[in-house]
Chains A and B, each alone.
Chain A
């Protein structure tokens, strides 16, 4: 039973830490994120398993984590406030040829991150970007500037 509680606690604690660790831009995991994911996962595993390495404990803890995830998902659907707490909101990085320095600094985004996403969207200069949005999953969406007629 203690294992299930540890798993619950571990899930919510990791959720909290990952949430405040912030979003990093990019579709793929950078070495930073790899280190974070594997290190945190490994350390959480040690505390969650403790000295009970039985199959029973593993099954119960997996179920506990799955239920915790289901619970978070359910509350997210019911409560927009909770959804914002867990996921944040999309954030404007650039619009009308103006950067949003406050957002960029707080989210650790640089102009070359925006430009990298722009190139993927076949936009090749910063001037051609109409709007750049940091999405909740860390991706940067680029909306091309409408050409002046």
Chain B
């Protein structure tokens, strides 16, 4: 079986300057590259600008506020989240949310499974599993009052979260988690 040759002849593969010095310059390629570099820096600057505004989370654009159609609660959250980065959902209840000294709140299980709810403040009196989510009961003496969920998202992509004061109108939060 023929083996590969140990040597091959030297060929004039590197371009020369004045037919004397082999340099291998390719100014045509380099000019194209400089153009590409400039375009890339513009793009990167744009990404940075979007980041400052919060288009990738953690900024003014990321913050959102929504109110239940019947006015039972006001939710402050971040519609754009980052995986593993702590954030907070604050729910402020109106007088109409309180029934017999308690507020009962239902949230879909995406809150824990996808958005990594770490804890809720204040501690609920009861937490009940079921209907594809969790139902929290908080004791309350008067409204307005608010609760906070500490989140640390664990799943990348779009997530829909339904939040509802039991017996009132539900609210759907559309949250996107960046990697």
B23 and A92 contacting across the interface, CB-CB below 8 Å: yes
Given contacts A95-B17, A131-B17, A143-B21, contact A20 B40 (CB under 8 A): yes
Q: Which 8 pairs show the lowest CB-CB distances between chains A and B?
A: A89-B26, A20-B37, A20-B40, A106-B34, A90-B23, A90-B24, A92-B25, A90-B25
Q: Distance in Å from the Cβ of B32 to the closest Cβ of chain A? A: 10
B41 and A89 contacting across the interface, CB-CB below 8 Å: no
Q: Chain A residue with minimal CB distance to B29?
A: A84
- A window 117-137: CB within 8 A of B: 131, 133
Q: Distance in Å from the Cβ of A132 to the closest Cβ of chain B? A: 11
Q: Distance in Å from the Cβ of A131 to the closest Cβ of chain B? A: 6
Cβ-neighbour of A89 out of B21, B29, B36, B37 (below 8 A): B29
Cα–Cα distance between A84 and B24 once the two chains are bound (Å): 11
**A50 — which chain B residues lie within 8 A by C-beta?**
84
**Which residues of A are interface residues toward B (Cβ below 8 A)?**
16, 20, 22, 50-51, 84-85, 88-92, 95-96, 103, 106, 131, 133, 143
Cα–Cα distance between A96 and B20 once the two chains are bound (Å): 12
Cα–Cα distance between A10 and B23 once the two chains are bound (Å): 33
**B7 — which chain A residues lie within 8 A by C-beta?**
none
Cα–Cα distance between A16 and B37 once the two chains are bound (Å): 10
Question: What are 20 A-B residue pairs whose CB atoms fall within 8 Å in the complex?
Answer: A16-B40, A20-B37, A20-B40, A22-B37, A50-B84, A85-B33, A88-B33, A89-B25, A89-B30, A90-B24, A90-B25, A91-B25, A91-B30, A92-B25, A95-B17, A95-B18, A96-B18, A103-B30, A133-B25, A143-B21
Cα–Cα distance between A140 and B40 once the two chains are bound (Å): 26
Cα–Cα distance between A76 and B18 once the two chains are bound (Å): 28
Q: Distance in Å from the Cβ of B40 to the closest Cβ of chain A? A: 5
Cα–Cα distance between A88 and B24 once the two chains are bound (Å): 10
B21 and A131 contacting across the interface, CB-CB below 8 Å: yes
- B window 1-17: CB within 8 A of A: 17
**A95 — which chain B residues lie within 8 A by C-beta?**
17-18
**B30 — which chain A residues lie within 8 A by C-beta?**
88-89, 91, 103, 106
**B17 — which chain A residues lie within 8 A by C-beta?**
92, 95, 131
**A91 — which chain B residues lie within 8 A by C-beta?**
25, 27, 30
Q: Chain A residue with minimal CB distance to B28?
A: A89
**B25 — which chain A residues lie within 8 A by C-beta?**
89-92, 133
Cα–Cα distance between A95 and B41 once the two chains are bound (Å): 30
